[in-house]
Amino acid sequence: MTDGNKPCGAVGTLFILGGTDGQEPVPLPYRRTSVPLWRAWMGAAFETGARIVGKWENTHASVSTVFIGVDKENVPPLLFVTLLEIADFAFTMRYETWHDAEIGHDLLIRLIAAYFAVVAYPGKREESVS
């Protein structure tokens, strides 16, 4: 039995980025050629950095936001993910659009930078985040 766009048991709907700015998620219809096409696009996007919304790190933490290209039944689809890593702690946030992912990425960087500048190390300031 199928669920419209994909066969029963499929991992999720596959997306690539397109549109005039290259930041618009475009769903791939389920076909035999969709998975190889998606893999090829994701590989090329990895090489060129087209999947990367933002990356940031300092001596205490790192924040990375990328397009993941697959959705598992979310409505609306959440195709962008931010990963925050601090020592043994990891936290993720997901977004629907590139724009939302940029905002979330920047906000998290500002929160982490402010935390380390003010709370964790009073009197010692991190580099400013612009």
Considering the entire predicted model, what is its pTM?
A: 0.79
Task: Quote the pLDDT of residue 59.
Answer: 83
Task: Quote the pLDDT of residue 117.
Answer: 75
Contact in structure between 81 and 100 (CB atoms under 8 Å):
no
Most confident stretch, 42-56, 66-80, 113-127: 42-56
Provide the residue ranges of all domains of the chain, joining segments of one domain with +: 2-120
